[in-house]
Amino acid sequence: MGKELREVIDIQEQQAAAQNRGRGNQSRLRYLQTLRSMINFGEQEGHIEAQLSVEAGIVIPQSPKKEQTPVVDLRKQTYEILSQMREPTPEEKTALEAHGQVFLLIQSKTYAQVVAEDPAHFWRDELNFANGRPVLKDYAMPIAAEVGLNPSELAEPGSFDQSQQVQLEMAEVRSKALQQEFPDARVIMLPVTGYAQADQAYKGKTGKLLFRNFFARGLDMLSEAGAANAGRDDPSERFHVGGWGAQGGYSLVALVPAVVFVGNQGLVS
């Protein structure tokens, strides 16, 4: 802007010099010269330029405003992905299993239903906890499908002590990278019913616990400000759901990225 202002002052000086050299034009020339000196001495970005242009009666060309990137509601986007899930093809499963993914069946059940069917897997009072929270009592994943998790790297590196939004953004970054090879693949944060069922299915498949000593951040909001998390503090404990502020991070709460597939087989969504 300083360069543009100097160019305008040059033009104004030339115009004033070409006109009658009366007292008014002489004053105008001195004023423009003073402005130039002030700019050369030390312009303060934006503030001085705007102030001087108003005082001098000079219209300064404005740089075009940068368009703001629209904010994507990643929670809403993830729920939409869940409504479009499909089973992975054998080829897709084989390719991702070679990179450590284990595919586990997640059924269309609420968290409360999952707890009621296998209470021994969960904390003693977990069913009352689930029934007392509408999202845990009422929300079921709309489509049953196999979901990929990586037990050897269950938590996304760097995702502990992060807000839910940051963790969702991490999932989105991984998702875009995976789509370069598998256009129908998505990496997402699951609702807690998904993580609970994955923990059960993994134990049934391997005899081992999937979640041993930390919690997965869930997509669910237990309150206006509180997001759900699911897992255990210690292998000796049973699986359970807790809550933590969505805007805050906690040392035991991480993103657990899950791989799902969407759309019709062979078509890019």
Tens digits of residue pLDDT in 88-114: 999 999 999 999 999 999 999 999 999
CB of 159 within 8 A of CB of 254? yes
- Is residue 50 over pLDDT 50? no
* Token duo for residue 27: 């004053």
Q: Is the pLDDT score of 23 beyond 60?
A: no
Does the model's pTM come out above 0.85?
Answer: no
Q: What angle do CA 251, 78, 91 make, to 5 degrees?
A: 100
Q: What does the pLDDT read at residue 187?
A: 99
Residue-level pLDDT at 130? 98
Flag whether pLDDT at 151 surpasses 90: yes
At residue 72, the pLDDT reads 81
Q: Provide the β-strand partners of residue 102.
A: 149
Compute the average pLDDT of residues 153-168. 98
Mean pLDDT of all residues in the chain?
86
pLDDT digits (tens, 9 = 90+) for 201-238: 999 999 999 999 999 999 999 999 999 999 999 999 99
What is the model's pLDDT at position 267?
39
Q: Read off the amino acid at residue 137.
A: K
d(CA 193, CA 106): 8
What would the pLDDT profile of 177-207 be if each residue is shown by its tens digit? Answer: 999 999 999 999 999 999 999 999 999 999 9
Cβ burial of 67 (10 Å; 0-12, 13-18, 19+) is exposed
Give me the pLDDT at residue 49, please: 46
